[in-house]
Amino acid sequence: MTVLTLRAADRPERLRGLVSGLLALGIAVVVVLAIVGALLVAVDVDPLLAAQALWNGAFGTTRSVGETLVRATPLLLIAITLIPSLRAGLYNIGAPGQMGFGALAATVIALQGAALPSVVLVPLCAIGGCVAGMAAAFVPGVLKAKFHANEIITTLAVNFIAVAVLGYLLNGALQSDFANLPQSDTLPESSGLPILLTDTRAHLGLLLALLAVPMLWAADRSRVGYRLRVFGANASLAKQAGVRPARYTIGLMTLGGAGAGLAGWMQVAALDHRLYPGVADPVGYAGLFVALLGALHPLGTLIAAVALGALLHGGDSLQVGAGVTPEIVQVLLGLILLAYAVRATRSAATARATKRKEGRSWTFSKRS
């Protein structure tokens, strides 16, 4: 039933998904701001002053707009590659770990290939980062498909393992001779990415991330995209129709690591020019939020990425502007996710049983 109606209901369903996603964003913003405001008042900070500092930090000058875009870039990339797996009910929350491994691979390649010309080295680093990120997601994918190991716990475990591995390498083999801190040598100039907008740090990666949006849109309309939706809506039916669940699970999880791996590469190649243990901190879990807040829709994701990019960057300038620690942004993110989570349906089975939002059920199916 569901499968047959999927295609017919496709277009209006998608639009409705976008509208309801935007509506959710609006409601979430109001409720969340009220709670955050109360928290700020509790520690004697003027919420309006903080809001003003946040806005100025995010959009005040050309430079800050650029910084917002810099933050939005990895968020968008991660979110776009996570969306297919989220639609199938796989929660890959290993983006920080996959970013870490991606950054590690890119750093090693850049340092080893310093003599190579830029045209060769940049793509090489990108591919290395991407593959490393995918490998870090492939392992939990295999564990999920073959051993039914809960992917939330395994991907999180990989995050902690990544931090440990980076800490180990940066205190030993990769540590710069000129630093007491755990950080690598500076990456060669030839591995850097060209700047896209003058006077900012917005780099070529932004273009890559923007390119991913229509790619997802096109993939949704392809044969594989259709099969994926069938798989997400009803895995056992898909199995009877010749879709192999194990292969799809592994494929989707691995794809989810690609964006994070690329984001890790961009972080070291375009922005920091060196590797350090907290390389994934600026982005962390926020890529997953972007995908969810964008209602798993390509366009909604783009809007959510810019909004969260502004929030993350504006949050950093709060310390200077209003004397508020950046931790408030983590509170903000958590509240947003909470506001969102309580209205997400529990599982495909529940949604079908109650005949509620039938077409949407594939969006948040979670098989136990």
Partner 1 sequence: MDLLEAILNTSLRLMVPLLLAALGELIAERAGVLNIGLEGMITAGAFSAYAAVMLGWGWPAAIIAALVIGAAVAAVMAIGAVWMGGNQILVGFALFILVPGIANFLYVQIGWTDGSPALNTFAVPLLSEIPVFGPALFEQTVFFYLAALLAAAVWFLFARTRAGVVVTATGHSPVSVNNRGSSSRRVRTYALLACGALAGIAGAAMSLGSVGSYVPNIVGGRGLIVIAIVILGRWTVPGAVAGALLIAVLDSLQLNLAEQSGIPLQLFSTLPWLVVIAMLVVSARLRSNVPRTLAQ
Q: Examine residue 33 and tell whether it contacts partner 1 (CB under 8 A).
A: no
* Shortest CB 90 distance to partner 1, Å: 11
Reduce the DSSP state of residue 193 to 3 states and report it.
coil
> DSSP alpha helices (H): ranges in 148-278?
151-170, 205-220, 223-233, 235-240, 245-266
Structure tokens at 144: 């999920």
Task: From 282, 248, 98, 268, select the one nearest 192 (Cα to Cα).
Answer: 268
Nearer to partner 1 by Cβ, of 227 and 366: the residue is 366
285 sits near partner 1 (criterion: CB under 8 A): yes
Beta bridge partners of 184: 175
Query: Quick one: which segment of 11-19, 164-172, 261-269, 294-302 binds partner 1 (CB under 8 A)?
Result: 164-172
Site for partner 1 contains 27 (CB under 8 A)? no
Nearest distance, CB of residue 13 and partner 1, angstroms: 19
Nearer to partner 1, 269 or 292 (CB): 292
Tokens of 38: 């109360």
**Closer residue to partner 1 (CB): 64 or 345:** 345
Residue 350 is a binding residue for partner 1 (CB under 8 A): yes
Instruction: Find the farthest-apart pair of alpha carbons in the chain and give their distance in angstroms, rounded.
Output: 65
DSSP state of 244: -
For position 34 contacting partner 1 by CB under 8 A, the verdict is no
By the rule CB under 8 A, 341 interacts with partner 1: yes
Q: Is 38 in the site for partner 1 (CB under 8 A)?
A: no
**Rounded Cα–Cα distance for residues 103 and 272 (Å):** 11
Q: Is 318 helix (H, G, I), strand (E, B) or coil?
A: helix
Tell me how far apart the terminal alpha carbons of the chain are, to the nearest angstrom: 22
Q: Binding residue for partner 1 (CB under 8 A) from 19, 38, 120, 160? A: 160
Per CB under 8 A, 75 contacts partner 1: no
Q: Which stretch binds partner 1 (CB under 8 A): 18-26, 161-169, 211-219, 233-241?
A: 161-169
Cα 205 → chain centroid: 14
Q: For residues 143 and 202, which CB has a smaller minimum distance to partner 1 in the complex?
A: 143
Is the four-CA dihedral 30, 34, 40, 41 of positive or negative sign? positive
Please give the angle made by the CA atoms of 252, 82 and 285, to the nearest 5 degrees: 130
Rounded to the nearest whole angstrom, what is the least distance from the CB of residue 251 to partner 1 in the complex? 20
Q: Give the nearest distance from C-beta 9 to partner 1 in angstroms.
A: 22
Are 91 and 344 spatial neighbours (Cβ–Cβ below 8 Å)? no
Counting contacts by CB under 8 A, is residue 148 touching partner 1?
yes
Binding residues (CB under 8 A) for partner 1: these are 39, 43, 45, 91, 93, 143, 147-150, 152-154, 156-158, 160-161, 164-165, 167-168, 171-172, 285, 292, 324-325, 327-331, 333-335, 337-338, 340-347, 349-350, 364, 366, 368
